[in-house]
Amino acid sequence: DTGVSQNPRHKITKRGQNVTFRCDPISEHNRLYWYRQTLGQGPEFLTYFQNEAQLEKSRLLSDRFSAERPKGSFSTLEIQRTEQGDSAMYLCASSPSGRALLGTGELFFGEGSRLTVL
């Protein structure tokens, strides 16, 4: 399968614990995005990477959230000191650029990592 891969698919944790999610984008895509989605809502933008550079972060993203993409391939999203309000689906997406950009620049989403904070 050459789609966007996310792990773990489900995570249940206690309030105050740290969690980390991993995203492996489509291999030729150098743009990577993290979104958060709660029940009955559309995905909400969190942050964006072009290769290893984090170029934009949402103002809604608290300092407990940090994302990295150290080698410009996979990315991790860490949430420190989790709160019950962090319970959501965390979606990763990727898109191509340059010569690989043949379509509309649409984002290709993974199936998400569902976080439940007790």
Partner 1 sequence: GQNIDQPTEMTATEGAIVQINCTYQTSGFNGLFWYQQHAGEAPTFLSYNVLDGLEEKGRFSSFLSRSKGYSYLLLKELQMKDSASYLCAVSLKLTGGGNKLTFGTGTQLKVEL
| Residues found near partner 1 in the complex (CB under 8 A) | 3-4, 31, 33, 40-45, 48, 50, 53, 55-56, 91, 95, 97, 104-112
CA distances from 98 to 1, 18, 30, 84, 103 (A): 23, 36, 9, 40, 11
What is the number of other CB atoms lying within 10 angstroms of the CB of residue 115?
A: 21
Peptide bond before residue 8 is cis, with ω within 30 degrees of 0: yes
Nearest distance in Å: CB 75, partner 1: 14
Q: Judged by CB, which is closer to partner 1: 55, or 118?
A: 55
Report in angstroms how near the CB of residue 16 gets to partner 1 at its nearest. Answer: 27
Closer of 82 and 95 to partner 1 (Cβ)? 95
